[in-house]
Amino acid sequence: MKKLKVSSCLNNATIDQFFRLAPKKRHPKPFLNRCSLGLLLDKVRTPEHQRYETLLKNGLIPKPHSQTTVERKVQRMEKKLKEKEEKTVRKKVQRKDDATKIKDRIKKYMEQFNWLIVKNESELFCSYCIKYCDSKQIKAFSHQKDLQFIYEGSNSIKKDNLEKHARRILHQKAIWCYGSEREREDLEKLQKLEGRNIQDMIKEDKDKYCEEELFPLFSTSYFVAKNDLALLDGERLIKFLSLFKVSIPSNYRNIHSIKEAIEAISISLRNKLLLELTNCSAINLQIDELSDISKKKVLTMNIRYFNNGIISSKFLGLIELSQFDSQTIYEQLTGSLKSLGIYEKIKSICSDGAPVIISKKDGLLGKLMRNIKGLLSIHCLSHRLNLCVTDLWKGDLPLRNINILIFNLCKYFSNSCVKIKILLDHEKALLNQQLNLIKPLDVRWLSKFSAVKRILLLYPAIIQTLYDLSKKGDPCSTGLLLSMKNVRTIGHLLILCDIGFIIEPLNQLLQKRDLEFEQVNASLVLTKIKMQALCEENNYGECLKGFFKEMTDSGTFRKTKLNIKEEDISYIKKRSNDLAKLACKSLIERLGQATDFVPLQTFALKKIRKFEANSEPLASFGNQNINILSRRFGLDEKKVLESWKQLKSLAVAYPDKNELEFYDLVLNLEEILPLKSLVEIYLSRTFSSNECERTFSRYNLIKTEVRSSLSTETMEQLLLIGLNGPQIDKFTFYEAIETWKSMKNRYFVKKI
């Protein structure tokens, strides 16, 4: 028999409907199959079916089941999630309806089981087990079922669950100590049948150590590390807790035990971090160097990665450097990354732009690029902006003199307590506030502009104090007073204040943790436009305009009389244009290539969703950039392009979803796995190494002059807890206790 084509009007619904209506006796299954049913339907075809066929052939009607396999998979996943949500809602409704039935059941159980306690209307506890665990301090949470009836409370109201708890050994021990006479007699009978002796087991429990006694030790050590306290403070806290009868073994109340507990907690936190990194295929590494109080050279490592729909940045570790050259940094860095098992996953590195790290010939990046294919190097934008400011201050001679003047002024007041007191008194009298002067440093972010602003804010109080001190015959105060009253110095300070107001919003934006490319790019363009506007003639900042207006009206600045000449005003106007041009030039040179690797921006969903579905511009969008990226990172171009097409269609099909939610849903699909590493590189990209600076600030808070003998290992452990650890009420110590036990053989002194 020849194979016959089933008509286009025949689909699964019509066939199933026919099988339901057809009687079983006349049309048995072996004789009536889908092919024979197609024959019957072809004979009885109507003209409507013929029209449907012609429309399908000409392409006037869309074909059924035109969805791709990826879209079907996503729809199935969404259906499953909706079904789960509906089930949870149904369960909640059922619980509300069955509340009265539950109360009646619990009353019956209370009559049957004497040891049962009820809290919050549904949580069941065992009174005997609670008493036994509190008095004997045995290991009560070795099994989850014991833990439910003692600490957490069991939510299951089944009778079988209560009977199972009654048969448990811990409960039998508790009955022997706190149960009634009848319960003891029943237990003796059970002992004879099972061949157990509960009295001997209770004696063994007295000698055993309960893990509850370790919780105060671990919680205090975690509190010490989280709040940057000294280890001696932890020992004092443990002694204080022991006064209130908190159970801590006597041989674990010293600094060494606190150190070991901190080490165990840090190991557990690092293991959790490494478990998260197993699912990642691309990691962004941020590195920076520091020389601390003890003159140790330390390299910090921070990472940024995408996992489970969240972009998280965490502290990885510290490396103590014997020498600060590229070869030693390369050897120690690669060794630590390989030991952690994440060397191959690092796809981009962000640094502060030190020549030892950033140079591609003999530097660290050049050596890493030879081994890691397609490694991206990112120069921190915050450091670039700071370099722009230093170029401005160091490239101009009058600004260098002003920097020296501000530094001398701060030094003059910091050396004497009497001078500071006079200054603060004048501030309170004139300005109704008390503030200190700021030193202009190259290291801190835009500290020079903040120092200028503070001087202009406290200008009347500074002038008055210098005037009072000059009357007493202080030669330094007279020299500082003359330079501070000079019109040109005031003009320079106001010009710098105007430039600082333009640069400050960009600096504040770059200090944030989660940044988007569009925000950074827009703020960069805006700062450049404002600076270029300031370069034009007869266009001055607001501070300088206010100064000119105040001088023309009253001939004073901040209620202090000044000797003004027309030459000084023309000089200030010229200097404002010159300094604005110099600042604009340094911004263009330093931040002209401030964007990260541009082809990665094709993965931005805003750009993809601009196009319509199944259009020619959408099909051609980003193909060239994807080819560049696949060549750079050594990926298969054909597979990557196919997955890129499917990703674009999905992005347009689901416009309501956020970027992180969309990529979290899509990246686990088989069709888009070739793009996973590229998407994670895009999501884990960063514009600045501010996380390293945050670790250094925490490092300096911990390692002070008093605590200068702390080793890098202990510092690493303290930073892991301080930066990566959650709050103390959200942290579980079970894993840390297990690691603490496995570190060496432990013994416990009995309580007296």
Report the range out of 269-283, 353-367, 589-603 with the highest average pLDDT.
269-283
**Residues 367-391: what's their mean pLDDT?**
87
**In 199-325, at which residue ranges do the beta strands (DSSP E only) sit?**
283-291, 297-307, 310-321
Q: Note the pTM of the prediction, 2 decimals.
A: 0.69
For residue range 227-265, what is the model confidence (pLDDT) as tens digits?
989 888 888 888 888 787 777 777 788 888 899 999 999
Give the separation between CA 147 and CA 129, rounded to whole angstroms. 10
Q: What is the pLDDT of residue 445?
A: 64
The pair of structure tokens assigned to 644 is: 């890129």
Q: For residue range 193-212, what is the model confidence (pLDDT) as tens digits? A: 666 666 666 655 544 444 56
Residues 269-291 have a mean pLDDT of 91
**In a 3-state reduction of DSSP, which class is residue 644?**
helix
Q: Which residue has the tokens 């005003």?
A: 569
> What are the pLDDT digits (tens) for 420-471?
899 999 888 888 888 888 888 766 667 888 889 999 999 999 999 999 999 8
Q: How confident is the model at residue 63 (pLDDT cuts 50, 70, 90)?
A: low
Q: Parse the chain into domains and list their residue ranges.
A: 12-58, 67-97, 99-207, 397-591, 599-683
Summarised one tens digit per residue, pLDDT across range 72-119 is 777 777 888 888 888 887 777 766 666 677 777 777 777 777 778 787
Q: Which residue has the higher pLDDT, 650 or 516?
A: 650
What pLDDT is recorded for position 71?
67
Give the pLDDT band of residue 27 (cuts 50, 70, 90): very low
- Dist CA 723 CA 729 (whole Å): 16
Express as a percent the part of the chain with pLDDT over 90. Answer: 19
| R_g of the chain, CA atoms, integer Å | 37
Q: Which residues contact 694 (CB under 8 A, 6 or more apart)?
A: 723
Asked if residue 202 lies in contact with residue 136, where contact means CB atoms within 8 angstroms, the answer is: yes
Where is pLDDT greater, at 461 or 153? 461
Check pLDDT > 80 for residue 387: yes
Q: What is the pLDDT of residue 245?
A: 72
Q: Does the pLDDT value for residue 511 go beyond 60?
A: yes
Residues in the chain: 752
What integer pLDDT is reported at residue 612 of this predicted model?
Answer: 84
User: Worst-scoring range by mean pLDDT, 60-64, 599-603, 647-651?
Assistant: 60-64
pLDDT at residue 263, as a whole number: 93
